[in-house]
Structure 1
């Protein structure tokens, strides 16, 4: 009998599109080309000093060199519970929290905790590139639905209901969104929460960008809008984006006791506990000085206005104003099928390749997040590079 050499499930998982584009941009830079990359969702700021100092102090305590609880340090779980009450409007017991190796692991474990083979997960798009793969790894079936620029990239209850079947187990709710920066208002959030509650649908809500909103907008947690939904909601979060701690790999999941229990069992076999130094640093991030955090948020807000204004000057580009995260999601459908630098791109994937080669600008094509016809630009990079890159696009495509 012939056996597969490697796991068919693992072989079916696609490489992260955002990391792939960023790696290609870095490779071209290494060759000496002046590439400006808008690909990675990573703040260009260093981790604030008081957080780094807490990590240094943690190195002096030998207790941090040992195994600790698989679910996380008690002090950190308490700090996360306080943050969850402060920012998500729900009171949770620290026992309802598991600390993970970054937000990605929290997303992965959320699906592992509740999805059985064949269960359907409604996935509003444009969606983060890792969600479909995490659903597949749990043997679930992703059911994508889409909202374009005409809807400000926000799906409706009517779309959710049209996608619901007897096999629907969960819906993914992300506000602010990666890749679009869209933020659902209170009424929109409440309507989706009430729909999920009425239909017995679990909600997996990714709140990692909840503190990065602009123009006075607040990201309302779905459990704050519909408190009764808490028993069928998993909240995933982390410190990577708001606190400029991408490399520290610290995230968490909050949810009902039964889901957290099975996730904790998985983690006990998967990786034991999360790095204790990173956990100690995160305690300081969540409880310490907020001034450096606000300074970074204000910088993102300034860059948001700048990048959207400049992108909308590019011929054929249509970029709604994002209200959160640090991404601009551009509708480039008008450009497709037209000549660009002697070529005629039919997809945003082809267009992104042309832009990289001709303008030495890296952006992530819409295919990474759902339908073709879009490009994602991160504005988590320095002001000077941000402007120069868009000026290259204005030169390549012309201006309106």
Structure 2
């Protein structure tokens, strides 16, 4: 279809959407990156694995608000505009980050501390549940048809850069600014304050971003979307769930959990674990647009098949070898290799999902089934990994990850070959 949006407007809109996405995921991942320092502040003192297990449990519970956010903000994006929904999401994330930054410790207020932490994560979960669907839809609709995969890759660039920014800040605090004791005492609060302040800038950017022309056309035709309308597309909904299941478990295994795995299982110092994780994430972010551009040339399906086959067959041997390495360089190479496999999914999953739905239901169609699946499987990934370790059967986790990847592989084999973006 013809579009009246200029190249400059398209680029400004993508920048505004991406910058907000970066901050949202920075706020979300700061919790995981700094958990090894603040877990003791919110829970009764015990061994390190027990404290991390409690922190991981709240991390997982926060994911269960993501379907609510996917539903509410997905509906808002389809009815009132992508820009409106994205503005709401960044505001909610700001509130959650500020609450964690100022929360007293367990020694000061007892059980109220983990209760406040839990509530803050629920608010952030609601925010992030709507962020993915709205931003994925916005990027897919703003990008030109021949370069949609390339621009889709930037969704995970900003997602990973948000996580990387959290890790880089931790590295600066570990190596330059503070002692480990200072980080554990009060320094862990600083990144949450930074996230809350950054949300003010993103709020302004998103208030002035260009609305998607496809949404405006749909709104003029007074097309209504909602859960009932979404249920008219059961195959598309199940496809989003199946693709997300393996993709999100692989992603959280090699990004979120790796820092703890290197410190708690491999035996690296916390600082080394953070450095290896940061370096591998930097490479991961850099290759997303390249994988996306490749999909514009050869199609989405070959990349997804590459991911599904390699993740299903390669996870067990890769994690087995990784558990016995002694060199940070070897760990970096193995994790980076795993992230190259993950890129077959992460670089294009947003546009593939958006291409399954018509405009009137696109944001909700991407957000809700994605958020439900992530809340159940992505949010529990590191909890399951830590539970397996505490139970004395850490190897079980690798087989669990492989089984999840197999579900995505089977889903990819059923993908439709048509796109609804250019039809709507």
TM-score if structure 1 supplies the norm length?
0.28
More strand by share: 1
TM-score (norm 2): 0.27
More relative contact order, 1 or 2 (CA 8 Å, 6+ apart): 2
